[in-house]
Chain A
Amino acid sequence: MIPRHHPEMAQLLDYATGSAAEPVALLIASHLALCPACRRDVAALDSIGGCMLEDSDPVPLAEGSFERLMDRLRGEAPPEEPDGGTQDEPDSPFDPLPLPLRRYLPKGLRGLSWSSLAGGRIRIAELLPPVGSLRTQLVHVRAGSSILPHTHRGMEMSLILSGGYTDEYGQFLRGDVETADDTVTHRPVADTGADCLTLTLVAGDLRFVGPVGTLLSPFIKS
């Protein structure tokens, strides 16, 4: 299945130039595993980078640079191949996770510290320490449960890893990316049939709207 909801080109550009913060880069690299169309875009953006490199004004190197490098290479063991990530947990209820994400889960999903909300219908684990106000979370919503209508003080960006949800903007399935900001109010409802797992980046607090949201815990069942 090919994703239908993608990051914006400007976000892919930030990923390709290297200016994207690590959490955003993690989300995009994970999306790329599941999205051939964005892989083609990023390949083009990397080619633009190659062209920019080719066009860079050459700057003279320190004297003896090449000899220094060859001396180093003679004594240097090749670097290790990239980490293959954790194996899938055999009894995981979720689809297998993309490799870029698995590399951040040395002990698997089970090794994370999960907080339960709404009577266990929603579970959240922080994957990385916050970067400024940006938090990186894995969010597990039981099939059919929902998150209260909310808007955002900053950006929210989600990659669906397993299952799916539907909100005012459509249905989001494995590989899809939804980006929201303070102009967006939405109420995601996990599709019935399978639990939903997302990688979600949130900058700033969620702001819950409506009478219930102002009173209660942010996450509550539908």
Chain B
Amino acid sequence: MIRDRRHACMTWLVVLGAPDLDGGMTTEATPPGETARSFEELLESVALDRDHMAFALLFAHFAPRLKGYLRRLGADDGLADDLVQDVMAIAWHRAHRFDPCQASVSTWLFTIARNRRIDALRRERRPELDFNDPVLIPDEEAPPEQTVSNGQEGAHLRSAIANLPVEQASLLHKAYFEDKSHSVIAAELGLPLGTVKSRIRLAVERLRGALRELR
């Protein structure tokens, strides 16, 4: 099936021309209708076949967003370009380790960019959970293995975030885009720490509930 889809995708590329790979997003490419390959399928092609075209499509969509994310978190223009290169290089090399049952492509790239940023800007190591850890306690309540596509998850979560009370949503934006811990945010906003903690808990529980509906 993937082969068929690739064929459709190539056809589509011929029709539309190659996507703009330097981030002028006006011609952002979305294959029409059912012939579209999801980001997860594109990444699978990168992993299995070292598919340059699939990688180019992922790059065209994600690289400018990664740059936007890194710029907001304090990287200057040149450094952000370099970090985007690093993140996409890691994605190319580790594509075989992407597991669509664990995360969407945007979530996976977010974690790579976050860790690369900690390494480059803070010069710290990033301790990470390893799913191959022999001591890992398995999750008895794990949902059935199921791919959650970027599109589904993103749309669902985006609307759940949009529906959060504004004071909860703004806390999350500060946390993800300003590299501030919850205690720093509390101090900046002049809010009691307990208030910030409970807003975070409420927000995340609500969003987790929204994600659960998908699985």
- Contact A53–B22 (Cβ < 8 Å): no
Interface residue SS majority, chain B: helix
Which B residues lie within 8 Å of A62 (CB)? 22, 78, 81
- Chain A CB within 8 A of B9 CB: no
Closest Cβ–Cβ distance, residue B95 to chain A (whole Å): 10
Interface size class of B (residues with CB under 8 A): 35 or more
Cα of A61 to Cα of B67 in the assembled complex, Å: 7
Closest Cβ–Cβ distance, residue A45 to chain B (whole Å): 7
User: From B116, which residue of chain A is reached at the shortest CB distance?
Assistant: A18
- Chain B CB within 8 A of A19 CB: yes
- Chain A CB within 8 A of B113 CB: yes
Which B residues lie within 8 Å of A97 (CB)? 135
- Chain A CB within 8 A of B56 CB: yes
- Contact B80–A34 (Cβ < 8 Å): no
- Chain B CB within 8 A of A96 CB: yes
Which A residues lie within 8 Å of B196 (CB)? 10
Given contacts A19-B175, A50-B103, contact A76 B89 (CB under 8 A): yes
Q: Which of A20, A48, A50, A67 contacts B172 (CB 8 A)?
A: A48
Cα of A36 to Cα of B11 in the assembled complex, Å: 44
- Chain A CB within 8 A of B7 CB: no
- Contact B89–A53 (Cβ < 8 Å): no
User: From A181, which residue of chain B is reached at the shortest CB distance?
Assistant: B193
Residues of A70-102 at the interface with B, using a CB-CB cut-off of 8 Å, are 70, 72-73, 76, 78-79, 82, 95-101
Which A residues lie within 8 Å of B63 (CB)? 61, 65-66
- Contact A61–B179 (Cβ < 8 Å): no
- Contact A56–B72 (Cβ < 8 Å): yes
Q: Which of A59, A67, A72 contacts B68 (CB 8 A)?
A: A59
Closest Cβ–Cβ distance, residue A191 to chain B (whole Å): 20
Closest Cβ–Cβ distance, residue A68 to chain B (whole Å): 7
Q: Which of B56, B66, B161, B172 contacts A53 (CB 8 A)?
A: B66
- Contact B22–A65 (Cβ < 8 Å): yes
- Contact A46–B181 (Cβ < 8 Å): no
Which A residues lie within 8 Å of B65 (CB)? 53-54, 56-58
B binding-site residues for A, Cβ under 8 Å: 21-25, 52, 56, 59-60, 62-69, 71-72, 78, 80-81, 84-85, 88-90, 92-94, 102-111, 113-115, 117-118, 124-130, 132-142, 150, 153-154, 157-158, 161, 172-173, 175-177, 179-182, 184, 196-197, 200-201, 204-205, 207-208, 211
8 closest Cβ contacts across the A-B interface? A50-B107, A58-B64, A36-B139, A56-B68, A50-B106, A66-B21, A99-B133, A10-B182
A binding-site residues for B, Cβ under 8 Å: 1-2, 8-14, 17-22, 25-26, 28-30, 32-36, 39-70, 72-73, 76, 78-79, 82, 95-101, 103-104, 175
